[in-house]
Chains A and B, each alone.
Chain A
Amino acid sequence: MNNINKIYRTDLVETHALSEFNLNVKEGEFVSVTGPSGSGKTTFLNLAGLLEPTSTGTYELDGINVVGLNDRQLSKIRNEKIGFIFQGFNLIPDLNLFENVDVPLRYRGFNSKERKERIENALEQVGLAARMKHLPSQLSGGQQQRVAIARALAGTPRFLLADEPTGNLDSLMARQVMELLENINKSGTTIVMVTHDPELARRAERNIQIVDGQVCDFTLYQNNKVEAKQAVSA
């Protein structure tokens, strides 16, 4: 992301949610994003996930300049390259686990055999293959988040965006989910995770902090030890 600005306008107010925002995430990285409430973390996540357009600036995702693409192209990129994990899980309550994981695969256009294989593998990966006919309401919070992770993984995305993935979970569940994310990252998937929890943020390879819509500094971690801290001028 280079010189990204995001401005929300109403009749009376103009809010600069992100200003001259610059960030480069390498393939295979695990980046945590922290910052106080209202700093622009969610806006960053929405822009990174192509859920809303930037006001100005350039954004290149996996070699594609995504600024100015139409809805169909953006949706295709979201579907094929990005996986989402939300704080509130965002499973569709009327669909069972199998059908929930099936959602992105339907839009991908896979045939039923391939979809079935991918769904079973993804649910297997998060340890819920035996409960695929259950509804989300029949699962615990941690299990629901694992289903959401399975849904994000089923399409084998290059890039995983996680918005407070452990925010609604107790510490045990949170640890399990975090371990799952770390394993996914080890298999080569790039992860950007927004979190309030400094402990979790430290488990990432790199932490960036957003304040007032700008990246104010970042920290590199290796084996949970601080190796470098560098101020970044926004």
Chain B
Amino acid sequence: MFFYYLKLAKKSLLKTPITTALMVLAIALGIGVSMNALTLNHVRSVNPMPEKGKQLFALQLQTMNKIGTRHTYDDMPMQVTYQDAINIQRMTPSIRQISSVKTGFAIQTQDPDFAPILQSARATQSDFFEMFNIEFLYGGSWGKEIDHSPDNQVVIAEELNERLFGGGDNLGKNIYLNQNSYRIVGISKSWNPKPKFYDLNNGQFQRSEQVYIPFSLLPVHEYPSWGNNNGWGPEKIDTYQDKLNSEIMWIQYWVELENNDKKSDFLNFLAGYVEQQKKLGRFERDDARGTLRNVEEWLEYNEVVGNDSNILVGISFMFLAVCLINTVGLLLAKFLKRAPEIGVRRALGANQAQVFLQHLVEVGVLGFLGGVLGLVIANIGLFILRNQYDGFDVLATMDMSMFIAAPLIAISATVLSGLYPAWRVCTTLPSIHLKTQ
């Protein structure tokens, strides 16, 4: 009977094309607006590392004195100092952990016709790629020894490889970063976690860097941070070395711990480290401590999905409700106008459930059409967002789940709104319908 109902729905919808178009448009507008808000919210709230989300931890240390403050709810800094990053890594060599910082370069190739391009980059350590499950097209990360013995080696992402060389295996070739020659040791596959959880400073949804260099090169070439440099007290910083020795917090630090026991051990180690540093005259606060937050906790801590985003979703769904209320009115009028036909069908043997289903299928078809048009409207909206505002190119993009969700939401919402009109029609006595002839 389902296909029979579909056929009847098609006839009915084509019979009143203007009413049908109005209803589809109302549903589509509601779906378009709510899918826009939902997409932005969904991209914000999705766990970018579901497979390792509970093993990767952002490290925080309360290194400030009593005067220093941060804007986090527990007053903890979100980055660590260079000296703490180096210390902790040296003291726990068996644990996989990385320091990283955003920097950037003017990039040139050996091709004299290639115009230099300015590109952000990430100074990090060899384990960065394996920790964050970054795959390679060619080659791999630099060796672990480079984390201690700096060498001008570089990993570039496939998009940059395409841009610099037109793609292909370019391992062993040299590129110039701020006129220093670097040898390409790896070409990574495209990797753009949304949100950019490993560094939420300066744009939580910016694209990942396309150039990765060894962290150990920072003191060698004295590359600047392109991210946040958070100081909390007066310090005399005249040289790059002063910055490395300072209390400025500018390094993102991640640790991989396979289970709760290891996490517990590492927290114990941090407690010991804090005590040790206190004895050395640092970490003056009574609440000085180290904390670990897994990826989900880290995103929540950084309010990646803010209340405003949730409110926006709520408002957009209220708009959808208004659109659907209008649709209910139109449906009711349309269905009741069809009373004589319903009377005939009931007289000829259709029971209430069959009449109810017939109308729900018609409503479902309307919902589907509204959903598809709503997807188009939503994507136009997202396209405008991407082109009007910086940082929306990753955020304002619909993924497959949203593409599937849109028609499903449209169909369910429309079917829900069609329940009353369908119920009204099917519960009226057939003799009443026939009297309306």
Contacts and interface: CB of A to CB of B under 8 A. Distances in A.
- To the question of whether A and B form a pair in one complex, the answer is yes
B431 A88 contact: no
Contact of B348 (A71, A84, A88): A84
B347 A78 contact: yes
B347 A107 contact: no
A94 B15 contact: yes
A50 to B, nearest CB: 9
Contacts of B15: 94
A103 B345 contact: yes
A98 to B, nearest CB: 13
B11 interface: yes
A107 B344 contact: no
Given A90-B434, A94-B15, A51 B347 contact: yes
A90 B431 CA distance: 13
Report which residue of B344, B348, B429 has the largest number of chain A beta carbons within 10 angstroms of its beta carbon: B348
Contacts, number: 68
A228 B2 CA distance: 54
A49 B354 contact: no
B221 to A, nearest CB: 78
Nearest to A73: B351
A151 B431 contact: no
A179 interface: no
B352 interface: yes
B350 interface: yes
Nearest to B433: A51
A216 B431 CA distance: 25
Interface string B100-144: 000000000000000000000000000000000000000000000
B349 A78 contact: yes
A76 B351 contact: yes
Interface string B414-428: 000000000000000
B4 A92 contact: no
Interface of A: 46, 49, 51-52, 71-72, 74-76, 78-80, 84, 86, 88, 90-92, 94-95, 103-104, 106-108, 151, 155
Contacts of A151: 348
B430 A90 contact: no
Interface in B330-361: 340-341, 343-354
A84 B347 contact: yes
B431 A51 contact: yes
Given A51-B431, A52-B429, A90 B437 contact: yes
A178 B158 CA distance: 85
Interface of B: 1, 4, 11-12, 15, 340-341, 343-354, 429-431, 434, 437
B434 A51 contact: yes
Contacts of A107: 345, 348-351, 354
Contact of A80 (B11, B12, B346, B349): B349
Contacts of A76: 349, 351
B351 A71 contact: yes
Contacts of A94: 11-12, 15
Given A51-B346, A75-B349, A106 B4 contact: yes
A107 B351 CA distance: 9
A80 B351 CA distance: 13
5 contacts: A52-B430, A78-B346, A84-B347, A90-B340, A103-B345
Nearest to B351: A75
A78 B434 CA distance: 15
Contacts of B431: 46, 51-52
A193 to B, nearest CB: 16
A90 B349 contact: no
Contacts of B11: 94-95
A104 B352 contact: no
A51 B430 contact: yes
Contacts of A52: 429-431
A104 B429 contact: no
A136 B71 CA distance: 76
A18 to B, nearest CB: 13
A103 B344 contact: yes
Q: Give me the 8 closest cross-chain CB pairs, A-B, nearest first.
A: A79-B349, A75-B351, A104-B348, A51-B431, A107-B349, A46-B431, A52-B431, A51-B430
A90 B339 CA distance: 12
Contacts of B344: 86, 90-92, 103
A12 to B, nearest CB: 19
Nearest to A102: B4
A124 to B, nearest CB: 20
A134 to B, nearest CB: 16
Report which residue of A75, A92, A95, A106 has the largest number of chain B beta carbons within 10 angstroms of its beta carbon: A75
Contact of B437 (A80, A88, A92, A104): A88
Given A78-B347, A78-B349, A92-B344, A106 B437 contact: no
Contact of A75 (B4, B346, B429, B434): B346
B351 A108 contact: no
A86 B15 CA distance: 24
A168 to B, nearest CB: 11
Contact of B349 (A86, A88, A91, A104): A104
Given A86-B434, A88-B437, A107-B354, A78 B429 contact: no
A128 to B, nearest CB: 18
A95 B8 CA distance: 9
A54 to B, nearest CB: 12
Contacts of B343: 90
A144 B4 CA distance: 23
Given A52-B430, A75-B351, A90-B437, 18 more contacts: A49-B347, A51-B430, A51-B434, A76-B349, A79-B349, A79-B350, A84-B347, A86-B344, A90-B340, A90-B343, A90-B344, A92-B341, A92-B344, A103-B348, A104-B349, A107-B345, A107-B348, A107-B350
